[in-house]
Structure 1
Amino acid sequence: MTGLTLLEYSANGFFLSSVFLAARNHRHTWTLGVIGCVLFAMLFYKVQLYADATLMMFYIGTSLIGWQQWQRGAPAAEIQRTSWQLVGLFVLVAVATMLGYGYLLYLNTDAFAPFADSGVLTFSVVAQLLLMKRRLETWWFWLLVNTIAVPLYASRGLTLTSLVYACFWLNACYGLWRWHQELRTSCQSVSEPA
């Protein structure tokens, strides 16, 4: 159990730093995120949260892409909104994928809470894709992910991870507020005469 605790502490340290920087719209969120994802993949596999372990592989790939996109600067650095129709489509696809993948895990593995685990996976994918494109709605999806993840991780004895994800929930509230402020500021500067 000591190895698992050290792994859990290390994964959370890197991931917490990464998420903290994401709310501040900082490009180094991606670098720290890759390290945290590798550690979390090992941790989640050990506690039979296979969808979460798979999610970490997705995060590693998208973190590399996100880092590249955020390096480009403006206008890619500007926060934008996503249409509600597209958000609705994302939700429908995520729910269908969650049910399908959860059922596959239920039938074919010894996965713990396969549907909740799959919910964290599918809604995180949507949130990550929106984060890569600096879309304000990413924070609504992160709030949903963290709402599912906190009790899921607590039920597996990952107390520290559960507490960190509760902090991620608060950070998502802050990120939503801060990104909304940045979006409002950039819209005002565009509308002001030169």
Structure 2
Amino acid sequence: MQSLYEFWTAAVGNSPLEWVAVLTGFACVWLAARESLWNFPIAIVSCGLYIVVYLRAGLYSDSMLQVMFIALSVYGWYEWLYGGRGKTELPVSHTRRREWVACALFVVAFTVGFGYYLDYKTDATVPHWDSFTTAVSMAAQYQLMRKRLENWWLWILVDIIYVPILWYKHLYPTSALYALYLGLAVYGYLAWRRAMHKEQLQIQEAE
């Protein structure tokens, strides 16, 4: 049972680094929900900080995930700018069936394979949950990078799982951040859906 002092010490952050990561992480998700290109450079900074935070907490898969996020953020930045028809700005669209199939196969394979590795080769405390959330997050980031509306569904699932895991690991500020992410993911879905419907109406009116 934690004392009030121990809880408060953990709640204010294991280090100032975690708090900076929390604030930049919140900013990048809010900017993504607003369809702002600034979400990508802010995400790169936040992910760089979380590499260190997660390594210290023994969440090795999540630490590796941040490296992937940095690479995907660079690519996503380009895609949002030039991924549309004729190298124009990329519009919001639905996830295609083949993308769902590919994402599902990837999540299962990564969860089983990397979860096994973490369980038997490292001191990871929640190896399969760690691997599952990493896999779903990568699938969600791919969809975000392609501006697929349903990326927010995956983020909602991941956030629901991350909140108790991070709390269990005594990363209280980050756990609270993921609770906020959950609300932002719902907001992002509704905002992107409105933007997609608005663009579809404009296309119909122009025809």
| TM-score, normalised relative to structure 1 | 0.94
- Structure 2 matches for 1:1-194, cutoff 5 A? 4-72=14-82, 75-193=88-206
Secondary structure, counterpart of 1:111 in structure 2: coil
Distance 2:99 2:69 in 1: 22
Q: CA deviation at 1:92?
A: 3.1
Alpha carbons 1:94, 1:126 under 8 Å: kept:
yes
Structure 1 counterpart of 2:59, which letter?
Answer: L
Could you report, residue by residue, the CA deviation over 1:135-177 in whole angstroms, capped at 9, with x for unpaired residues? 1011011111111111110000001100100100110000111
Alpha carbons 2:111, 2:135 under 8 Å: kept:
yes
Secondary structure, counterpart of 2:15 in structure 1: helix
Alpha carbons 2:13, 2:171 under 8 Å: kept:
no
Q: Could you say which structure has the larger radius of gyration?
A: 2
Structure 2 counterpart of 1:156, which letter?
Answer: K
Q: CA deviation at 1:85?
A: 4.9
Structure 2 counterpart of 1:157, which letter?
Answer: H
Distance 1:121 1:86 in 2: 18
Structure 2 counterpart of 1:101, which letter?
Answer: F
Alpha carbons 2:47, 2:69 under 8 Å: kept:
yes
Alpha carbons 2:13, 2:19 under 8 Å: kept:
no
**Worse-superposed segment, 141-150 or 71-80:** 71-80
Alpha carbons 1:101, 1:118 under 8 Å: kept:
yes
Where has structure 1 moved over 3 Å in runs of 4 or more? 1-4, 73-76
Q: Which residue of the partner structure matches residue 6 of structure 2? A: none
Alpha carbons 1:15, 1:33 under 8 Å: kept:
yes
Secondary structure, counterpart of 1:192 in structure 2: helix
Distance 1:162 1:3 in 2: 11
Evaluate the alpha carbon distance shift between residue 73 and residue 94 of structure 1 in structure 2; reply closer, same or farther with a 3 A threshold: closer
Residue segments in structure 1 that go unaligned for 5+ positions in a row: none
RMSD (Å), alpha carbons: 1.7
Structure 2 counterpart of 1:43, which letter?
Answer: V
Alpha carbons 1:76, 1:133 under 8 Å: kept:
no
Could you report, residue by residue, the CA deviation over 1:92-116 in whole angstroms, capped at 9, with x for unpaired residues? 3212211211111001000010111
Distance 1:145 1:108 in 2: 25
Q: CA deviation at 1:3?
A: 8.1
